Amino acid sequence: MPSASKKSQPKKKAKIPSKNLSPVVGLVIDSVAGKEKTHQADKIKDAKDARIAQLEKDLLSAREDMRNITENQEAANEELRGANEVLVTVNQELLDRNELYNQARLYAEAIVATIHEPLLVLDKDFRIKSANPAFYKTFRITEEETLGKVLFELQNNQWGIPGLRSHLLKIQMQKKRSWDWELSHYFPVVGIRIICFDARPFQIENGEDRILLAMEDITERKLLENRNLLSNIVDNSDDAIISKKLDGTIMSWNKSAEKIFGYTKDEIVGKNILLIIPPELHHEEVMIISKIKKGEDVPHFNTVRLAKSGKRINVSVTISPIKDEEGNVIGASKISRDITDEINARKKIEESELRLFTLIHSSPFAIGLLQGKDLIISAANEAIINILGKGPDIIGKPYFELMPELADQGYREVFTEVYNTGKPFNAVETAVNILRNGKMDTQYYNFLLFTQRNVNNEINGVGIIASEVTETAVYHQKLKESEEQFRQTADLLPDKVFKADAKGNFFYLNKAWGKTTGLTQDKLRNVGWLKTVHSDDLEKVKKHLNQTLETGNDFELQFRIKDKTGNYRWHLCRAMALKDDNGKIKMWIGAITDIQEQKRKEEEKSEFISIASHELKTPLTASKLYINLLEEGLSREEDSSFLLFAQKAGNSIERLELLIKELLDVQKIQHGKLDLNITTFDFNEMLDGAIEEAHLSAPNFSILKTGHISLPFKGDRDRLQQVVSNLLTNAVKYSPGSDKVFVTATDEQGMIKVTVEDHGIGIRKDNLNKIFDLYYREEERSNPFQGFGIGLSISSEIVKRHNGEIWVESERGKGSTFYFTIPI
């Protein structure tokens, strides 16, 4: 074609088709291929996509035809150039063909004109090249106002639809079709319209770009959809939605209304609304209707309605007037919500509040609630009122105005910190000064400050829970002081003090340990201290330790400990178990005393006694023997008075011998050195020996023995004879008006029992349990020859050393009976 246009001759003829094609060239071409498809045009509005596709197809085939035609034209031109003579013929042919085109164009125009959807063809500047009657009709615009105008400026810029230009530009650039682009726009002439656009770009034969813009007005369809949506909302609402006429006739009734009131839609539509209003509340309806008639809303209020079952339902109701197109009130819509659950929930909240109130006011803890940043007292129980000491009327007062003394102690800052940060504040055994009756009073409290929050979780107050713990705090303080004092005291002591757990592990040692052993606390802890014990004593210590830990008895033992110079020194260890109420060992407290010096002195003393006894006994022995010799010699003399003197000297020597023996025994008892010489012997024989001996020294007394011990006995024969002799000597000595002493001996249930009974002066009752004490002597018995009164004390010790018991029964003036028992 461009080559053809350069030729001069066929210019005129070549112009024909291009002139005819404008301005609805697409549509005309469309019609060429659309000849056979006229019957489809009627159905286009129902099948828009198919139609547009068809149009596109038609366009393409029209273009194809166009090319073919052009080729034919070129061929014709060649012929013209080649053979001038056939020009007329060909020209005629072309005219015929042009006629054909015109017919096709008119046909296509007719089709476009009959299409119901508005169609526009735009050029590259979006000027309207053509429009169909549906466009004019839909948008109430004339052809003159439309053709050649820019789309967006139509009808005083009514088409300046936001986004439309950019949408079309995009289509132009991308050369792609855009489907179903929906938008809603207000056209002053036709009102709000919802339009579905379909735009496709194409080129006409001279290469110019065009856009075919098809529009479908879907406003009605959308409104219908919305109506359906609204009715869905009403149907699916949880609230009962009812409409009624002004006379109360029910017009509509949704599903929730059926559910809440129990009436179906069919049952109730057409009935009066009073059906669901309890009789005593019918006046409510009168007021509602009068308000509705004035066109006013009735804001929501809570009331009671009747269900079909007769059940009364708590409801929240909102009523609005319904108006007709002219604005006249013709009825009312009513939304009811079943608030039975809400009311129940509120009741529960009220109950819970009551419980909280009771809890606060019956609590032994002091509880107070402070409201707002100003910490105004909003609740306070009796306990906190008592603590604060400002009388009962404290509600509503700002806390720190009421309690300036607390502000002075810095508590305002503490409360503010809690309020601002939300972090609770916990105080334990804290001293707080409170002014009571004009006097500053210091007491100790455990207290907790915590934030209170509203439903939005915002802090709106501070709560106090407090309990007075002065007694405990003072106790703890004293305990702490006492513990400190204990440590200080313990550190001052020269003794090694320790505390150990129930298993005997040392957990506390005083400073003396380090001073003695030179070892660190760590080395001594637990059982480390055992390493300082002399190897000869270690077994003994361990054995005693295990026994004590098991039984919980007091620990007392002497052993040697190595000091820091490497020398062993004797120590006495004493420990005592602290037990709980069930007798379970909690811990041990003990002390280890250096007794090296004491031990040395004891040894010296013991040596001294030994020497003294030797030194005393030696002259005694000589005296005794000389007196024996004197007695022998004098017994042969005629004058017997000298023999009597010699005998008296002999008796005195005997008594002196006994006294020395007793003194030494006492020394031994005091030093724990009264050693028993255990043998198996005939107890009866021993008893008889003692009786015979006593009888010899007191021949005027008859000592009558009854009973017999048949079993062989294990014990210290000499010492037990000493006991019996002592009892017999006493019996004789304290029976001045009598001449009889009774002895019984029995063995029963693994126990021997010996009694010595006299009919002498007896012992005063209050002295009965003192007579076995060392150095005790009954006053009335005192006379220069009655010894130190230590005989019974020695006897008691001897019996005890045999695991036996000794006691006395006596009556003043009637005599005494001494008993002792010893297990066999």
CA angle 291-297-303, nearest 5°? 80
Nearest distance from C-beta of residue 664 to another protein, angstroms = 7
Tokens of 622: 């000589």
Reported as type and span, the H/E element at residue 459 is strand 459-468
State the Cα–Cα distance between residues 689 and 668, nearest whole angstrom: 25
Nearest distance from C-beta of residue 599 to another protein, angstroms = 20
Nearest distance from C-beta of residue 670 to another protein, angstroms = 15
Nearest distance from C-beta of residue 604 to another protein, angstroms = 17
Nearest distance from C-beta of residue 632 to another protein, angstroms = 7
State the Cα–Cα distance between residues 104 and 30, nearest whole angstrom: 9
725 contacts 741 by C-beta, under 8 angstroms: no
What is the binding site for another protein (CB under 8 A)? 610, 613-614, 616-622, 624-626, 628-629, 632, 653, 657, 664, 677
The residue among 474 and 629 lying less far from another protein, judged by its C-beta, is 629
The residue among 191 and 619 lying less far from another protein, judged by its C-beta, is 619
The residue among 470 and 613 lying less far from another protein, judged by its C-beta, is 613
Of 66, 186, 180, 167, the closest CA to residue 122 belongs to 167
Nearest distance from C-beta of residue 811 to another protein, angstroms = 39
Nearest distance from C-beta of residue 792 to another protein, angstroms = 22
Tokens of 17: 């088709």
CA distances from 469 to 388, 407, 424, 446, 483 (A): 15, 21, 20, 7, 20
The residue among 309 and 677 lying less far from another protein, judged by its C-beta, is 677
Nearest distance from C-beta of residue 515 to another protein, angstroms = 40
For residue 677, the SS3 value is: coil
Q: How many CA atoms lie within 13 A of 72 on its CB side?
A: 12
CA distances from 4 to 13, 78, 83 (A): 11, 10, 16
The residue among 354 and 611 lying less far from another protein, judged by its C-beta, is 611
State the Cα–Cα distance between residues 101 and 607, nearest whole angstrom: 163
The residue among 330 and 678 lying less far from another protein, judged by its C-beta, is 678
Of 172, 83, 86, the closest CA to residue 123 belongs to 172
Q: Which residues pair with 202 in a beta bridge?
A: 210
Nearest distance from C-beta of residue 673 to another protein, angstroms = 9
Q: State yes or no: cis peptide before 23, omega within 30 of 0.
A: yes
Show Cβ contacts of residue 632 under 8 Å, excluding neighbours closer than 6 positions. Answer: none
244 contacts 273 by C-beta, under 8 angstroms: yes
The residue among 651 and 706 lying less far from another protein, judged by its C-beta, is 651
Of 110, 324, 127, the closest CA to residue 210 belongs to 127
The residue among 546 and 610 lying less far from another protein, judged by its C-beta, is 610
The residue among 657 and 682 lying less far from another protein, judged by its C-beta, is 657
Q: How many CA atoms lie within 13 A of 405 on its CB side?
A: 14
For residue 637, the SS3 value is: coil
State the Cα–Cα distance between residues 514 and 564, nearest whole angstrom: 9
The residue among 16 and 616 lying less far from another protein, judged by its C-beta, is 616
The residue among 540 and 624 lying less far from another protein, judged by its C-beta, is 624
736 contacts 705 by C-beta, under 8 angstroms: no
State the Cα–Cα distance between residues 35 and 560, nearest whole angstrom: 136
End-to-end Cα spacing for the chain = 154
DSSP codes of every residue in 510-547 = -HHHHHHH---HHHHTBTGGGGGB-HHHHHHHHHHHHH
Nearest distance from C-beta of residue 536 to another protein, angstroms = 22
State the Cα–Cα distance between residues 709 and 109, nearest whole angstrom: 159
Nearest distance from C-beta of residue 652 to another protein, angstroms = 13
The residue among 547 and 618 lying less far from another protein, judged by its C-beta, is 618
The residue among 653 and 732 lying less far from another protein, judged by its C-beta, is 653
Nearest distance from C-beta of residue 606 to another protein, angstroms = 11
The residue among 620 and 649 lying less far from another protein, judged by its C-beta, is 620
Is beta strand 740-748 parallel, antiparallel or unpaired with respect to 702-706? parallel
Nearest distance from C-beta of residue 742 to another protein, angstroms = 30
The residue among 52 and 620 lying less far from another protein, judged by its C-beta, is 620
Nearest distance from C-beta of residue 820 to another protein, angstroms = 24
The residue among 535 and 677 lying less far from another protein, judged by its C-beta, is 677
Q: Which residues pair with 245 in a beta bridge?
A: 331
805 contacts 760 by C-beta, under 8 angstroms: no
Nearest distance from C-beta of residue 622 to another protein, angstroms = 4
Nearest distance from C-beta of residue 695 to another protein, angstroms = 18
Tokens of 288: 């509602």
Helices (H) and strands (E) in the chain, counts: 27, 27
Reported as type and span, the H/E element at residue 390 is none
The residue among 304 and 612 lying less far from another protein, judged by its C-beta, is 612
State the Cα–Cα distance between residues 192 and 194, nearest whole angstrom: 7
Nearest distance from C-beta of residue 681 to another protein, angstroms = 15
705 contacts 694 by C-beta, under 8 angstroms: no
State the Cα–Cα distance between residues 558 and 732, nearest whole angstrom: 44
State the Cα–Cα distance between residues 22 and 148, nearest whole angstrom: 13
